[in-house]
Amino acid sequence: MSLFDLTGKVVLITGSSRGIGKASAIACAAQGAKVVISSRKQDACDAVAAEINAGFGEGTAIAVAANISDKAALQHLVDETRRGFGRIDVLVCNAASNPYYGPQAGIPDDQFRKILDNNIISNHWLISMVVPEMRERRDGSIVIVSSIGGLRGSTVIGAYCISKAADMQLARNLAHEYGPDNIRVNCIAPGLIKTDFAKALWDDEAKVAERNATTPLRRIGEPEEIAGAVVYLASAASAFMTGQTMVIDGGVTI
């Protein structure tokens, strides 16, 4: 059996209607997992679930919309997943927000709070909802999609970077807390990836050229290039890894 096999596993991924989340859902389905597609828009989630069911067999994917800022909606997502698939083996906290671009001094309080709520507190909520069944089974993997922004200073997306650094600390704390029950908690820190989320950063040719020049692999990444790490962290291949952050950035932070 492959170390990366996910047959019989149920993987719930937030923000999986497009970008890194969608690519990760497809990659997990390709390894035999059942996947739960979620974002704020039910129709977009339905379309991705239909695509996955067409490719990997009916019953591989279900779609449940949930805004990560809404605690009741997250509980509904967990309840519907248990109703549809009976369990959650792997949780991927992937959705995040970044409504502000500019110096730290100028950030309105409500936008700063939204970033902290959506990128940190919502992960804490969702993990807390899922972890009891993982504890009972003494098995589970939780993946938080952080960012290399959490490893560096920034003059324009500082609050977002604070939230992504906090995600790495959340993983370390929870790895200690849940490790004795064989639940692993890790982060992935992508560099610049070609998705809608980062469009402002890669849409401008001059900015991309500048970025590429300082990136050893001389290009930005594709969502599929993060999905392999999600499969790795979800699977037995990473059984002895917890509390860590995997940097996948074409080498830009070295």
160 labelled catalytic: yes
User: Is 193 a residue that touches ligand NAP (CB under 6 A)?
Assistant: yes
Interactions with ligand NAP, residue window 144-173 (CB under 6 A): 145, 147
Q: Of 195 and 242, which has the nearer Cβ to ligand NAP? A: 195
User: Is 69 a residue that touches ligand NAP (CB under 6 A)?
Assistant: yes
Cα-Cα end-to-end distance for the chain: 35
Rounded to whole angstroms, what are the CA distances from 125 to 102, 118, 131, 144, 192? 28, 10, 10, 13, 27
Residue in 192, 227, 230, 233 binding ligand NAP, rule: CB under 6 A: 192
- Active-site residue identified among 100, 101, 160, 232: 160
User: Is 235 a residue that touches ligand NAP (CB under 6 A)?
Assistant: no
> Least CB distance from residue 148 to ligand NAP, whole Å?
6
Exposure of 43 by Cβ count < 10 A (0-12 exposed, 13-18 middle, 19+ buried)?
A: exposed
Dihedral of CA atoms 157, 44, 79, 183 in degrees, nearest 10, equals -50
The residue at minimum Cβ distance from ligand NAP is: 19
Distance CA 44, CA 97 (A): 18
- Taking CB under 6 A as the binding criterion, the range among 25-33, 79-87, 169-177, 192-200 that sits at the site for ligand NAP is 192-200
Give phi and psi for 104, each to the nearest 5.
-55, -40
User: Is 44 a residue that touches ligand NAP (CB under 6 A)?
Assistant: yes
**Contact, 140 vs 131, CB < 8 A?**
yes
Q: For residue 112, which of 157, 155, 148 has the smallest C-alpha distance?
A: 157
Q: For residue 245, which of 164, 159, 128 has the smallest C-alpha distance?
A: 164
User: Is 18 a residue that touches ligand NAP (CB under 6 A)?
Assistant: yes
Interactions with ligand NAP, residue window 86-145 (CB under 6 A): 94-97, 118, 145
User: Is 81 a residue that touches ligand NAP (CB under 6 A)?
Assistant: no
> Least CB distance from residue 200 to ligand NAP, whole Å?
10
Q: How many residues bind ligand NAP (CB under 6 A)?
A: 30
Give phi and psi for 190, each to the nearest 5.
-75, 150
Provide the annotated active-site residues: 160
Query: Which residues contact ligand NAP (rule: CB under 6 A)?
Result: 14-21, 39-41, 44, 67-69, 94-97, 118, 145, 147, 190, 192-193, 195-198, 223
